[in-house]
Amino acid sequence: MPELPEVEVSRLGISPHIEGRTIKSVKVHDKRLRWPVPETVHQVEGHVLRSVSRRSKYLLLQTDNGCLILHLGMSGKLRVVPAETMHYKHDHIDIEFDNGQTLRLNDPRRFGALLYSGGDVSGHELLSQLGPEPLTDAFNIDYLFERSRGRSQSVKTFLMDNKVVVGVGNIYANEALFKAGINPKRSAGKISKARYQKLVPIIKETLASAIELGGTTLKDFTQVDGNPGYFAQKLQVYGRGGKLCMVCSNRLKEVRLGQRSTVYCTQCQR
């Protein structure tokens, strides 16, 4: 599943090509996505796309007549192509603009979504209960420490709770906890403020680094087979269960927490 850095780079990649353009049409080739695509998405037709923003993993395409809420699901990819570009299998949505360009959603597993909000999009049921963005000042040491008090769940599942903080998905939770030297199985409520003081900036740095790395792929969003997947990066623990730790050469352990693969070093993360 694309995580926050991949979604943010998608936003950066498509925005220059579609912001300020008039939406000519929304063509739904297959409405059977995570939720059926509603007829209301057509209400943005004929209106200027004012901005493309992101909230958690949702892309928000704002017009004067409402907002399209776009989610990539587990396998969704976006690209900007000329409207006459041949369709490929699993090309489900075309948002056509007055300059002849089309924002196209390809989603093989159909866990993505395209929805419409006619009012204040921040109050939409999918967005209203979300925690702060991890790269903003609202996500800070005091906040995370206070939210953790009394929580018996593992610190990894705590970080992946979108009501606590958005966008810290499985890959980046694994990596940040390793860098901070925190055992992912420890109860969130039993971790000291000093350790959260170390963890918070590491989470920010890990996500920011992935976004910066993804910046080299922005041109791919205008190619027929474009859109990057996970950015090539040196992952220290994720996907490396059973291999040797890059720091201490101890063999990495893999367990499941919250139905997700979790890899850590029993020596470096205590």
Q: Which residues are catalytic?
A: 2-3, 57, 260
**Residue 269 · residue 263 · CB < 8 Å:** no
| Token duo for residue 265 | 């070093």
Those residues whose C-beta lies under 8 Å from the C-beta of residue 264, and which sit 6 or more positions away, are 174, 177, 178, 183, 184, 185, 237, 252, 253, 255
Q: Quick count: other Cβ atoms within 10 Å of Cβ 162? A: 14
With CA atoms as reference, report the closest residue to 41 among 136, 133, 105.
105
**Residue 235 · residue 5 · CB < 8 Å:** no
